[in-house]
Structure 1
Amino acid sequence: MGSLTEISVVTRKSIIFITIAVIILILIRLSIKVGIDYWKATHPVPIPPPNVFFGKIPSPKFPQSATTSSNLKFTLENIEGRPPETTSAGRVYAIIQKTPTILSSQRAKAFASKLGFKNEPEIISPTYYKFINDQDKLLTLEIDIVTMNFKLKYDYTKNPQIFYQGNIRSKDQAINDVKSYVGNNGLFDSFTLNGKITGDLLKFDMATKTFSPASSLSNTDAIRVNFFRSDLDGLKVLPPKFNKSLTYVIYSAASSNNWKYPEIIYTYWPIDYSSFATYPLRSATTAWQNLIDGEATIIDMGRNNPDNIIIRNIYLAYYDSEEPQLYLQPIFVFEGDNNFVAYLPAVDNQWLD
């Protein structure tokens, strides 16, 4: 009996000792983990410096007609109450540079023929052709035979009645009709078709022969369907006119395709996503000061008093130029009240030509 009691006591003590040992091991392990985490937090792995692989790069080609931010007064009113924290380095991507081949002319003519242009083109330059439809002289096609960027236009200023052929049912229907038409006819690349698509309601002015924003669907004569690029590296890819894409289609309620889609503009510069370099970027604080100092480009002045422009948002984006560029690079975007927008190169000035 005594030996059983002794065994029971020893067993209980063993269990206690084992439990204590396990607790100690757990505490040691937690202490080591906390220590390692603290070391990592206080001794972060150095971020590799920008490799500036492309060397100095050209400044982004903002619209030549745009003005600078000089002689304007700005006030920053954002959530932070100061310029935001932004990354100190960013990617710059190479734009694929196409060159003419012996098949370039043939390919452009085949594309034109598919759209109903059977006549020989007018040679504007060795790489730029203009076709005129032999059935309707108001319908023209201009095409860069190297890039295959094109402008398909029906001169609606000489026949504005095309905008009064019926009623546009909805913006969604316009977008779906346009996507189906350009997709089925192979007019746009897959990246463009899978990007961001928006629609702007338009009213046609018979006196000025121009479009202006329509206040509602009921007085809409046409819809501009915008095809924006998808975001890249979590950043927007913005065109020169900010909310108007380089590639777009004007849509009407007419039944004939030439009238239903009286303007189709395709401008696409292919990005080499496998070829990029990293570059130092100016800080948002520096960018804000550059805006104040008159170094930014005004994309849209909006309805603002030059002496009191309120900026609500500062952020990084990529710039997609209407003109051919060697690189796709980051810019700072300043958005303000009453539709104000300004752009500024984000790459540090020492790496810009």
Structure 2
Amino acid sequence: MTLTELSFYSRKYLPFGILAVLMLFIVFYMFKLLFMLIQPVNTQRAYINPIFDKITVPLLREATPSAGFNYILDTIEGRPVTASESAKVYFMPASTARFGYKEKIYLIAKTLGFDTEIVKYKLNDKDAVLSDLTQKLTVDITNFNFYYQYHFEKNKELFENIAFPSKSQIENKAIDFLKSINRYPEELAQGKINLVFFYYNPETNELSKVNRSQEANVVEVDMYRPDVDGFSTITTSFPNSQNFILMVFKEKEFKILRAQIKFYEKSNEQVGVYPLRTGDVAWEEFKKGRGYILSRTEGEKDITVKTMFTAYLDPEINQKYLQPVYVFLGSGNFVGILPAVDSKYLME
């Protein structure tokens, strides 16, 4: 074959060759696409490690079931929110009476103004109780959680000539007090602090929340457990805390009116990982009455939920687990929660 003939046949059959190659590519990718469509989808399941098997739901001192209300979801997302497929559950070991607890009780009492030479504690189960004419102190001898109440309604002059220092100074006074009685847990110290101002009317014996310090004569220092694994924490007294100090400030002194620490340590070694309900399931379960209401306005039956999120519930009662909950915030100071762990892993 001459070069002229080769050139002629090349030009004649080249388009057919190109077309054949294109057809091969088309057939190849069609079979590849078909294979991808018919093969089973490999969905990666969330890692779980439920080392405690079934866990108890959170123990609540004051809460009512979420049944009997008309709920409307009106959040920014416009639908129930699922924050995560799984989350950690922390074991909270029980405490026992500690050596030297008598000295610790009297240290707390003396710091708060008790004459410990005269006032002695009485033991009621695991609570040591001291009281005199003006104040009362209750201390849990197993963990040194405590509640203190000064009967300030008997001392009207206490609320005259109030002078609040700066925000940081107020916080430091509260922190210094807890450090002085050795009851400022390391984990609590890592959380946020919030100031809430009140006006106390000595004539009516009413304590009312106000928006500005200029309107107040009392301040509460709220202390919160820090975020857990990227989730915020809430308390049963949300948005306040069960760890607080209520104080009045004069020009050169201050007085503690009430104080409470109810903080339970979690174990960082005994930790399970549990599946969570989806946001859709949580919303339906809450509407069916399987959740709990922490706060609401009396008489309201129609509740518009404006915010839904997942958080860890910092308990005010000693219990076995620190666990996540779904939180529902709505109109009329409404606060509702639902255990976030999948119901298959809950003992209700």
Answer whether TM exceeds 0.5 for this pair: yes
- Rounded to whole Å, the distance in 1 between the matches of 2:294 and 2:326 is 12
Query: Structure 1: which 4+ aligned runs deviate by more than 6 Å?
Result: none
Contact 2:197–2:218 (CA under 8 A) maintained in structure 1: yes
Change (3 A) 1:100 1:187: closer
TM-aligned CA deviation for residue 115 of structure 1: 4.7
Change (3 A) 1:256 1:126: farther
Change (3 A) 1:108 1:256: farther
Q: Is residue 329 from structure 1 mapped to residue 323 from structure 2 by the alignment?
A: yes
- Rounded to whole Å, the distance in 1 between the matches of 2:143 and 2:272 is 24
Tell me what 2:127 maps to.
Answer: 128
TM-aligned CA deviation for residue 170 of structure 1: 4.7
Contact 2:101–2:141 (CA under 8 A) maintained in structure 1: yes
Match of 2:82, as an amino acid?
E
Change (3 A) 1:89 1:215: closer
Please list the CA deviations of residues 11-64 of structure 1 after superposition, one character each: whole Å capped at 9, or x if unmatched.
xxxxxxxxxxxxxxxxxxxxxxxxxxx9xxx7565543x222112211101233
TM-score (norm. length: structure 1)? 0.78
The 10-residue stretch of structure 1 (281-290 or 156-165) with the greater mean CA deviation from structure 2 = 156-165
Match of 2:274, as an amino acid?
Y
TM-aligned CA deviation for residue 155 of structure 1: 1.1
Change (3 A) 1:326 1:256: farther
Match of 1:299, as an amino acid?
L
**1:76-95 alignment, distance < 5 Å:** 76-95=73-92
Change (3 A) 1:200 1:114: closer
Tell me what 1:294 maps to.
Answer: 289
Match of 2:246, as an amino acid?
I
Give the percent of matched residue pairs that are identical in Structure 1 and Structure 2.
Answer: 25
TM-aligned CA deviation for residue 81 of structure 1: 1.6
Counterpart of 2:329 in 1: which secondary structure?
strand
* Residue of structure 1 aligned with 2:313, choices 309, 319, 326: 319
- Rounded to whole Å, the distance in 2 between the matches of 1:204 and 1:115 is 21
Unpaired runs of 5+ residues, structure 1, are: 1-37
- Rounded to whole Å, the distance in 2 between the matches of 1:221 and 1:239 is 25
Match of 1:63, as an amino acid?
R
Counterpart of 1:261 in 2: which secondary structure?
strand
Change (3 A) 1:126 1:83: closer
Tell me what 1:153 maps to.
Answer: 149
Q: Is residue 193 from structure 1 mapped to residue 189 from structure 2 by the alignment?
A: yes
Tell me what 1:273 maps to.
Answer: 268
Match of 1:128, as an amino acid?
D
Contact 1:138–1:154 (CA under 8 A) maintained in structure 2: yes
- Rounded to whole Å, the distance in 2 between the matches of 1:45 and 1:350 is 20
Change (3 A) 1:255 1:102: same
Tell me what 1:97 maps to.
Answer: 94
* RMSD over aligned Cα atoms: 2.5
Tell me what 1:72 maps to.
Answer: 69
* Residue of structure 2 aligned with 1:240, choices 213, 236, 243: 236
Please list the CA deviations of residues 259-306 of structure 1 after superposition, one character each: whole Å capped at 9, or x if unmatched.
622212111101112211111211110111122212221122148842
Tell me what 1:249 maps to.
Answer: 245
Tell me what 1:204 maps to.
Answer: 200
